[in-house]
Amino acid sequence: MIRVVLPAHLRTLAHVDGEVQLEVKGVATQRSILDALEARYPMLCGTIRDHVTQQRRPFIRFFACEQDWSNESPDTPLPELVATGVEPFLVVGAVAGG
């Protein structure tokens, strides 16, 4: 079980309240997590990764165990703590409210 924390506007879009829990096949990587997330919540396609290039969008970043994974390869295995659901995979988005 992998836990994913989404920014508020994407939780609204996906109609979820808190964290998302996902079963991910194979090794937990950014790609496998995001693929599983988009398969379960198709409305999130294009909001985190570009529809066409599958690149992270520039107003979104990824974190695992407090560290920034945004510029790592999407196929690098994530820390064991994320793979085992102890720590969540964080999708952090830019917000501007004040």
User: Is 61 a binder of another protein (CB under 8 A)?
Assistant: yes
For residue 64, the minimal CB distance to another protein (Å) is: 10
Q: Are 92 and 60 in contact (CB under 8 A)?
A: yes
> Three-class SS of residue 44?
helix
Q: Per-residue string for binding with another protein, 6-45, x by CB under 8 A? A: -xxx--xx----x---------------------------
Under the binding rule (CB under 8 A), the answer on residue 58 touching another protein is yes
User: What's the alpha-carbon Rg for the chain, to the nearest Å?
Assistant: 12
Q: How far, in Å, CA of 61 to CA of 90, rounded?
A: 8
Exactly one of 1, 51, 55, 98 binds another protein (CB under 8 A); that residue is 98
Please classify residue 23 by burial: count the beta carbons closer than 10 Å to its beta carbon, then call 0-12 exposed, 13-18 middle and 19+ buried.
exposed
Residues forming contacts to another protein in the complex (CB under 8 A) are 7-9, 12-13, 18, 47, 57-59, 61, 63, 66-68, 90, 92-98
